[in-house]
Structure 1
């Protein structure tokens, strides 16, 4: 069985794909076809700035039959560019039918590419906008949990759903987010025997109805892939079943059942009806 095949009956959702990244500029259609062949039926394209949110929406419209939806938001790395004009444009993007969630938004105190006050201002403003639009939120947190948690908690009851994307943190933050009824997005980080050991130990603690799966492509290529990727060192949605296989093993679950459950969780997170399989 190749890394793209997974369980024959498995259908997957990838909640984090940066398809607008320049690494996909020349072969986006081939990337989407490989994802389809791997059983990935739904992909959420990540918006990390106003421009990239526009691009994610455009890609959904360029490939209308590939199960693509988008987020619209400003990543904390880009928070210094968040102003009234950016907020107004995001508001318009969030009204588009292809845009299913607000974000990527949050705090990143690891790299501090934007000043922390700018990050907090952008985060709070986007939480308010998501509450106004009644859209789920796609969240980023790195080395900022003590500040991130109270900001999220203040808005959580007004938001329909929330996912902490690319979770790589420790036990206490995990339980804090679960206490706020958040979904938890797990990437190929869990496939790294060096950096992912602590995360691997936490994976069984995530309730079955709160688990989501993502590649964060083209980033976070699973370190233990048995085959060379189509483009060296580039992650793709077609590798999602490999991540799912690792999660199923860690949780002692059947791979096809985990695929079906995380797919259903994704539809529920996005407040979308699951497709009729008959």
Structure 2
């Protein structure tokens, strides 16, 4: 298909990206993607993900280096393909704000992936990562990270640099503990670590003041871990209850010391 033909398929009325120039490639055009796509320098949203139903027989076999030409891209959708790696040229896309890489076969990222300084949202669930990619720790503007359903056994100390993270999804991995340093990520509102092998939460977990599990608690938050400190029954009550439990162990005052007496019975009197 020619550049002109693809250009005629560009839309600007997607409600998620209204006003942005978007191209969706699907079906046989995806499985045999034309280089013409990568001459559309005006593109701001490129969707190279197959449809969930009818078109799953047609997937993108590889992400070509020519992706680096699309320097105006803000959103790149590559999920649910057969991808094992990204070309280093991906780092040329300095305007990228969101990338979807879930449901592929990635086990690593290019070393220069950390150059995507405007990236705010990154989806990498259901891949083959065994280690948390250190490049991510340098993405200081990242607010949303989904790296669930992988094989990650530990988190690096460098995660402390991800100060803007509001959502961190780590459920269904091989984590045995959370590093104490994670408690410095004080912008976190959503932290899902269910279905790992975590036995104990960090002592300063109560410093994550913005976590809002409470009545919105889901099984992805902590269930499926062999938790001892605190017990899962305490954890299901939310971060405040966890903080009170940790405070009782260390003998320090909890962050909500004024309310401890009123709900002490509800959390078994600690």
Q: What TM-score does the superposition give when structure 2 sets the normalisation length?
A: 0.35
Q: Which is greater in Rg?
A: 2
Q: Which has the higher contact order (CA 8 A, sep 6+)?
A: 1
Bigger proportion of residues as helix? 1
Say which structure is richer in strand: 1
